Structure formats: C-alpha cells, structure tokens
Amino acid sequence: MSYAIFRVEPINKLSDLSQIGSHNKREKKAYKSNPDIDITKTKNNIDLVPLSEKYIKGFYNLTKEYKLEHDKRMETMRDDRKKTFRQMVDDSNNVVADEMLFTSDNDFFKNMKKKDIKKWADTCMEFVYNDLGYTKEQILHATLHMDEKTPHIHCVVVPLIRKFDKRTNTEKWTISKKQYIKDKAHLSELQDKYYQRLIDNGFGLERGIKNSDNEHISIKEFKKITNKLDNRLEKQNYLMTRDYEKLEEKLKTSKPTITGKEVKIDKDTYDTLNQFMNTSKRVIKDIPRNQALFKELTDYTKSYKDLENEKKNIQVEVRKLEYQNEKLQEENNRLHNLIYNILQTLKQFFHRLLKIGTEKDKDDVVSEIKEYHSQDLYDNFDLHDIANNTSKGQEIYDYLYSNEYDYDDRDIDI
C-alpha cells in the first residue's frame, strides 16, 4: 500500500525563495545536477496556481501593502535603526514563505491517467484551501511536476495576515506561519486530515508515518548524532565522577577551624568544592539538551523501525540502531543516578554549612538550594531536610510557603 505524503519546508530568506522559484518554474535550460528531471517532459507540468513572473517579484506584489506599511513606519525611525523591507523580512524570526510538498510513491501513480493525477492534485489543493485555511491570494505558486520520476506538487504560500498588535493597539501586516501550522502536533493533525480527504475522494492510500520528517535523516547522520550524544554523556560522566571523588576525599581529610561562631575550611577544600559545584551546574544545565537529543534519536529509531516492514534491506541497520539506542539509554540512566546521588550528598553538605558556615556561606547555600528547587532538582522535602534545625530554617520555610506549596504531614523542627 502507498503512503499519503504531505510535508512542509520553511523558506527563511528571500534569496532561498528565489532559488526555489527557479527550480519550481524550470527556469534553467538543463538540470545536469538533477538527473531525475526530464526536460522533454516539462511541457506536461501543470500550474495549479499560476505565476507568470519570478518568485521575488511575485512576493513583492503579494506583500505590497505590507511593504507600504513598513516604509511609512521607517519614515519616523532613527537612521541607525532603519531597515529596508527586504532586510526586515530576512531578519525577522518568521518565515518569508512555506513550501508544501504533496506526493506518494511510484506504485500509487503507476498506470494512473493524467486526468486522475489532476483529480489527486485538485484534492490536495482543496486541502490547502479548506483544511489549512489559505486563500488563493496567499498562494504564490502551485505546480504539479510531471517531468520527474514521481509526480508531486510544490505549493508555495506566503502566510500574510493582519494581526492585532497589543503594543500599539492597532492591526498590522505580518507573516505568521503559526497562524496556519501551530506546531508539530498540529502538523500531525493536519496530515491526518489530508489523509482522510484523499480517502474520501477515492484514493487508496495509507496514512504516512507519524512525525515522518524523521525519515529524511540518513543512517550516517543518525550515527553522527548518536556518537555526539555518546561522547557528551561520557565526558559529563567523567567530569562529575572525577570532581566528586576529589571533593569526597577532601571532605574526609579536611579539618575545619572554629573561631567563635565561625567555621573556616582550608582554601584547597574550598576550591575543590567550587570546582565540583561549577561542574555540577554545567552538567545539570545540559540535562534538558541531552534529553531533547535523546528523544530525537528515539523518534528516529521508531521511524526506522516502522519502515522495517517496507524496506527489508535496512533490517540489520535498525537492529544496530536499537542496540545503540539502548546503550545510550543505559548511559543516560547512569548519569541521572550519579547526579541524584550527588544531589543527596550535597544536601548533607548544605545542611552542614547552614549549621557551621559563615553568614556568607549560609546566604550562598540559601540562594543555591532555591535555584535547585526552581529547576525541580530538589523538592519541598529536600529543602526541609536542609533547613531543619538551622538558623536559616525560617527563611527557607517562608520561601516555600510564600509560593503556596502543599505539604503532607511530616514532623518538622523549626
């Protein structure tokens, strides 16, 4: 069974838009770099939404009111902050346009008559209008390519809208992709709608793999990302273990000097503690990035596994990837366990400092544990354990209660 394929690629710069237009409109005389294109069949291509001029000129025609609004705003702008319309569009965080690709595989189009391919193309455009919500005026160009190995549609849209600006209390022109495709979850819902629309119109297709953008990554690229994460975890594990062992050894031999109410530790121990704390902070800060990368690799592995039934020749590679993924997960779990143990050891050290440290030490501890708490590294009970029977106890409890946290029954000495 063939898959219904709908993908979206952002176009971030007008120079990129120009190159895409040259390809989509077949403006070159020959395509030696792309052997899939047969120029002799280009006459069979069908413009679903025609564009007689080049993409850049078409873009400026489509956004002329947006440009007028921008140029007027620049009239009252300081010279050092003025930008041309093109500079503003290129420098913004928004896309300048989106390119949508609709296709399937060779089996789907095999022996299909041109009128049936056109019916499929019209159904795709109905999806653009009715499900995505674009108007014909927002479509820069849409074309059905029949001169490559597999028929496919390139539909380039400019998500130009009028949007209310709270700062100026007025409506302004802007380009906003999120108005039509909010995020990956929304894109997945739209792909479901696209699939259903094709089924309702009599096209026998299967829903493509969820989050199928992952299938674009090659085995080589996957291994590159895997090695990157593996090296990062190995290095972090090494640094944490090294500095933790140093600190543990120092704490065993360090003898604090007590002068009145102050307790002093030697500089060497203090420097070792600082080094460990700095390393801990770097590793903790990297945890979200590691988890995001790990999730990405997991998604890739799932995608390859789904493709296993269709592509028998990658079965061996899939097993290798799953094995590598398991090893990464084990390494990730080891690192999490190590960090957990370190945080528990730090609780005792923080508690000790709150009892015998200088006032500056105590203030530093309070700031540190608040930061750990805000990052969910310490929970409410952890802070209670650290604060219990110390001079900073009331300050820490006030911090917790002021944030309206709920507590279950537990004996706390204040």
Assess whether 183 and 322 both reside in one domain.
Answer: no
Pairwise CA distance, residues 391 & 369, whole Å: 15
CB atoms within 10 A of CB 126: 12
The rounded radius of gyration (Å) of the Cα atoms in the chain is 30
Residues 235 and 261 in one domain: yes
- Lowest-pLDDT choice from 1-15, 115-129, 176-190, 296-310: 296-310
When pLDDT is averaged across residues 266-280 and rounded to a whole number, the result is: 77
- State which residues form the domain around 167: 3-208
Domain containing 118 — which CATH number?
Answer: 3.30.930.30
Please tell me the predicted confidence (pLDDT) of residue 228. Answer: 72
Q: Is the pLDDT of residue 259 over 70?
A: no
Give 193's contacts (C-beta < 8 A, 6+ positions apart): 127, 131
Do 145 and 223 belong to one domain?
Answer: no
Q: For 299-335, how does the pLDDT look when each residue is reduced to its tens digit (9 = 90+)?
A: 666 655 555 555 554 556 667 777 778 888 888 888 8
Give the integer Cα–Cα distance in Å for 133 and 179.
9
Counted domains in the chain: 2
Clarify whether residues 203 and 278 are in a common domain: no
What whole-number distance in Å separates Cα of residue 414 and Cα of residue 384? Answer: 10
313 or 290, which is more confident? 290
Q: Tokens 């990554």 identify what position?
A: 217
CA dihedral 143, 146, 152, 158 (to 10 degrees): -10
Q: Which of 23-27, 84-88, 124-128, 266-270 has the lowest mean pLDDT?
A: 266-270
State how far the Cα of 232 lies from the Cα of 20, in Å rounded to an integer. 37
**pLDDT, tens only, 370-414:** 888 888 888 888 899 999 999 998 999 888 877 544 444 444 443
186 and 229 in a single domain? The answer is no
Instruction: Give the HSE-up count for residue 249: Cα atoms under 13 Å, Cβ half-sphere.
Output: 8
Which domain-ending residue is among 313, 341, 357? 357
Amino acid at 172: K
Q: What is the 3-state secondary structure (H, E, C) of 151-177?
A: CEEEEEECCEEEEEECCCCEEEEEECH
The two structure tokens encoding residue 164: 């209310």
Whether the Cβ atoms of residue 349 and residue 382 lie closer than 8 Å to each other:
no
Q: Tell me, yes or no, whether 171 and 87 share the same domain.
A: yes
In percent, how much of the chain has pLDDT > 90? 29
Residue-wise pLDDT for 159-212, tens only, equals: 999 988 877 788 899 999 999 998 888 888 898 899 899 999 888 777 655 554
Q: What local confidence, expressed as pLDDT, does residue 404 receive?
A: 46
**Is the residue at 244 inside a domain?**
yes
Same domain, 174 and 252: no
For residue 373, the model assigns a pLDDT of 86
More confident residue, 181 or 285: 181
Q: What is the DSSP letter of 127?
A: I
Kindly report the pTM of this predicted structure.
0.52
**Average pLDDT of span 55-76:** 93
- Among the candidates 208, 239, 269, a domain finishes at 208
Q: Which two tokens stand for residue 310?
A: 């269709």
- Asked whether residue 381 is domain-assigned, the answer is no
The answer on pLDDT for 51 being more than 70 is yes
Pairing of strands 152-157, 97-103: antiparallel
